[in-house]
Structure 1
Amino acid sequence: MTKPIALVTGASSGIGKATAELLANNNYYVFAMARRMNRLEQIRSENIEPICLDVTDANAIKILIDHVMTTKGRIDLLVNNAGYGQLGAVECVSMEAAHEQFEVNVFGYARFMQAVLPHMRAQNSGIIINIASILGQISIPGFGWYAASKHAVEALSESLRGEVMKFGINVVVIAPGLIKTEFAEKEFELLKTVEHPPIYQKLLDALPRLLKDEAIAPGPEIIAKAVLKAAKASFPPMRHAVPGDSRTAVISRWLLGSRLFDWAVRCKMKI
């Protein structure tokens, strides 16, 4: 039986790596993409083909899709996962950094969606899974530009779902909460590049406290399992929040209302 063909971006670590490996172990042939080829080579296998690729490079994406169609003839699953988090007060993050956040987290996803859709339409089947974030549904101080990019992913996914459902294509959003990966470490490295006046010191002190539980959070495998479940489902969920803290946050926002929820967040952050 022909193996389904999957494309996974941001596959060199964390959620992308766990997803590529789990799909490969479940008989998918996976094109695993990232910029760090040395990391990708570590997961190369019979079912995983590493590809060095930057999601901001439209020409590289076109070359990849041509390669996939030439060698495999179809695309069954796209997992948009590549991204990063730009922390900092909205006032202080430069426009250049804000543009780069959207270039990777939003337009990187969009480039891949536009690239695979003609082929999925032609075969009248396919599934696109966009890894968003709980911050795509709520937003908190210090995470404004990252949250804005994930809100955009939610909006694009919702529109796209209605546009392509009639072509046999499903679009799913998976919204992780706190997951044990290298993500927070990279966020704080980027935060150091943003100059804040002293008035924002309480905010800067609050961010590590907010993310301190990452060390005891579930591993990326929990998201990989959600991806596999959605990919195999006859009627996949439109949106899936994982793990429990993700669902709790959304429900809390709904129950408390925006004003009370925002107050509770600021109390927790002590700002």
Structure 2
Amino acid sequence: MSKVILITGASSGIGKDAAIQLIKEGHKVYTAARRIEKMKELQEMGGFPMQMDVAKNEDVKNVVDQILQKDGKIDVLWNNAGYGLYGSVENISIAAAKKQFEVNLFGLANLTQKVLPYMRKAKSGTIINTSSMGGKMYTPLGAWYHATKHAVEGFSDCLRLETKQFNINVVVLEPGAIATEFGDVLTQPMLDNCKNTAYEPMAKLVAKTVNDSYHKPNGASPRSVITNIISKIVRSKKPKTRYRAGKWAKPMVWMRLYLGDRIFDKVIMNEVK
């Protein structure tokens, strides 16, 4: 059955790749991102790109209103927009940290609030929130990013309990290292944030680890890992509450849960030597 789907953060990476597949499967796919010029391919395929900054309430409201005017419903909302702010706690400004939360958490929450009344009245819908394996673990210099993803996890769990009575599915997606531009967007600002500080040597080591993990052939393919999962969630009447996939996702979260803080600290720091 064809569904009306809204995907944020769809101008690149896992969002764009999954959007391509969902369009091919016959769904009506609205793709939202700041860089609308990056979604021409999706429009040519039959998708509906829309310009939206998830941190701007006016943009969010306009997108939801337009979709509802055209289709009267949104069957699937995939909150996928986000980025990684890396740098030391000592040096990252609170203003920058607030922006990280505005995009990764509050933007997600705002869009969810605007879509929920219509899913609730329809007694049907699926909300997918992109967290990360970083929502269950941590790495050096990633305090603010991990804080947002831990928050997304808790937000999603509470939302799932609240909306179950209305037959709304809430799913948490926890990708590991995927071969996308995420690593590139993360590393240079991190190096800039730590330049000429006591954390510069650590930043260089973390950057090397990130580059090794996220670039092909080391990073997992979006198509083989995440796209197939998203397609499965969209088709399912009762999807799982969590899907964890991608390089390191399952073993790293397992180690975090069962090894204890001190041993896990050593595991993580061994990766950035």
Same fold at TM > 0.5: yes
Report if aligned partners of 2:191, 2:200 keep a CA contact under 8 Å in 1: no
Shift of 1:67: 1.1
Distance in 1, matches of 2:193 and 2:199, equals 12
Which residue number in structure 1 is paired with residue 241 of structure 2? 238
Shift of 1:208: 1.9
Report if aligned partners of 1:84, 1:183 keep a CA contact under 8 Å in 2: yes
Q: Kindly provide the amino acid, as one letter, of the partner of residue 70 in structure 1.
A: Q
Shift of 1:269: 1.6
3-state DSSP of counterpart to 2:198? helix
Shift of 1:255: 2.6
Q: Kindly provide the amino acid, as one letter, of the partner of residue 176 in structure 1.
A: P
Deviations 1:7-47, CA, capped at 9 Å, x for gaps? 00011100110121111111110111111111112221454
Shift of 1:254: 2.2
Does 2:82 align with 1:83? Answer: yes
Q: Kindly provide the amino acid, as one letter, of the partner of residue 220 in structure 1.
A: P
Shift of 1:179: 0.5
Shift of 1:244: 5.1
Does 2:39 align with 1:40? Answer: yes
Q: Kindly provide the amino acid, as one letter, of the partner of residue 158 in structure 1.
A: D
3-state DSSP of counterpart to 1:43? helix
Gaps of 5+ in 1: none
3-state DSSP of counterpart to 1:44? helix
Q: Which of 217, 236, 252 does residue 255 from structure 2 map onto?
A: 252
Q: 196-205 or 129-138, which moves further after superposition?
A: 196-205
Report if aligned partners of 1:27, 1:47 keep a CA contact under 8 Å in 2: no
Which residue number in structure 2 is paired with residue 220 of structure 1? 222
Distance in 2, matches of 1:89 and 1:244, equals 25
Distance in 2, matches of 1:218 and 1:182, equals 12
Aligned length: 269
Shift of 1:196: 4.9
3-state DSSP of counterpart to 1:153? helix
Does 2:102 align with 1:100? Answer: no
3-state DSSP of counterpart to 2:165? helix
Shift of 1:58: 0.8
Deviations 1:238-269, CA, capped at 9 Å, x for gaps? 11111252011111122311211112211222
Report if aligned partners of 1:28, 1:47 keep a CA contact under 8 Å in 2: no
Residues 74-223 of structure 1 aligned to structure 2 (within 5 Å): 74-196=73-195, 198-211=197-210, 212-215=212-215, 216=217, 217-221=219-223, 222-223=225-226
Distance in 2, matches of 1:193 and 1:204, equals 9
TM-score, normalised with respect to structure 1: 0.95
3-state DSSP of counterpart to 1:194? helix
Cα RMSD, aligned residues only: 1.4
Does 2:67 align with 1:64? Answer: no
